[in-house]
Structure 1
Amino acid sequence: MDHLKEKTLSTENIYDGKIINLRVEEVELPNGKTSKRELIKHPGAVAVIAVTSDQKVLMVQQYRKALEKTIVEIPAGKLEPGEDPMETAKRELAEETGYECENLRKIISFYTSPGFADELVHLYVAEGLEKTGDQHADEDEFLDVLEVSLDEMQEMVENQTIHDAKTAYAFLYLKSQT
């Protein structure tokens, strides 16, 4: 596969932010020509599939400015520097839903948009849920916690209330387990 590799000739950092960094790289293509690549660097994230004892999936409803709409998602969040993804998953579940779990099992990790970003999402299943308190989301994060059945989740996928890849992936995973 080395015959497909692009060699980086130069890198220009455009923006260093709280969540992402943006840079432009000039690359040499396999045919010897050059091109520019606009790349988003991201620290990675986690997402949690949490199913209650009565078979309801914990979801969060949140306005997403990039989409200019409210969507329903599974609990998720960004990795902090040096933080173990499993610890991030436990933290995000508690912060966003007010639930903790007895066991957390990793399913898979996947890239969200490999054409321009390196964000890697680690997907977990939370088992043995216990409501321990209220959600305590970040100060700039406003969300509602929902408990939905698998049938309701399917309807939300179909009507695009669920409109993100990690949650659609979670739905397909849950559907394959029934």
Structure 2
Amino acid sequence: MKKFEEKTLLSQTLYEGRIINLDLEEVLLPNGNKSKREIVRHPGAVAVIPITVDGKVVMVEQYRKALERAIVEIPAGKLERGEEPELTARRELEEETGYECKQLTHLISFYTSPGFADEIVHLYVAEGLSKKDHKLDLDEDEFVEVLELTVEEALEYIQEQRIFDAKTAYAIQYLQLKRQMDQNNG
């Protein structure tokens, strides 16, 4: 048995949606007691930090119904069944921003909310950007405005809560740290 493992005794899908499923599981705790867990099942996602030749970050502003407001984010999207994360990253970059990239580097993968969800986000850095003649169509329920921000502007957006999601804040913090390390080593 793994350390702190909770053995699943019973699992029931309460909801099956287009993006998520919701499961209710009865588990046996390490101390022998039983408990219930509500788990959001998600196929995973990608997020992309697109960096222009002049060092700006390409972002999108879009309305998020769960927050009842628009926020500024790095391009991101859900993995399609059987699709490799790198392919998803390239597709989402092009769909949301109209850019394609010469170089796409996997940075890290992380769980967004492991207390109740299994969603994993694969974070990429996209460089060597070029504007496509025409961008791929957005999803029919997706409306975005493309922005290009310096790291300083993005940090201001975080302070103003215009950037208000973890993946984008993480991306900006990464860029800030990378720039400091490059300055110290250069």
TM over 0.5: yes
Q: AA paired with 2:42?
A: H
Structure 1: any 5+ residue segments left out of the alignment? none
Post-superposition Cα deviations, 1:62-96, rounded to whole Å, max 9, x if no partner, equal 10000111100000000000000000000000000
Equivalenced residues, count: 178
C-alpha displacement of 1:134: 4.4
Q: Please give the root-mean-square deviation of Cα atoms over the aligned residues, in Å.
A: 1.0
- Give the corresponding residue for 2:144: 143
C-alpha displacement of 1:59: 0.3
Q: AA paired with 1:139?
A: E
Q: AA paired with 1:78?
A: K
| Distance in 1 separating the partners of 2:133 and 2:44 | 27
TM-score by length of structure 1 reads 0.97
Determine whether 1:155 maps to 2:156. yes
Give runs of aligned pairs for residues 1-178 of structure 1, distance below 5 A: 2-135=2-135, 136-178=137-179
TM-score by length of structure 2 reads 0.93
Q: Percent identity?
A: 63
Post-superposition Cα deviations, 1:105-144, rounded to whole Å, max 9, x if no partner, equal 0000000000000000000000100001344211100110
- Give the corresponding residue for 2:183: none
| Distance in 2 separating the partners of 1:153 and 1:97 | 17
C-alpha displacement of 1:25: 0.1
Q: AA paired with 1:98?
A: G
Structure 2: any 5+ residue segments left out of the alignment? 180-186
Q: Which runs of 4+ in 1 moved over 4 A?
A: none
Q: AA paired with 2:57?
A: V
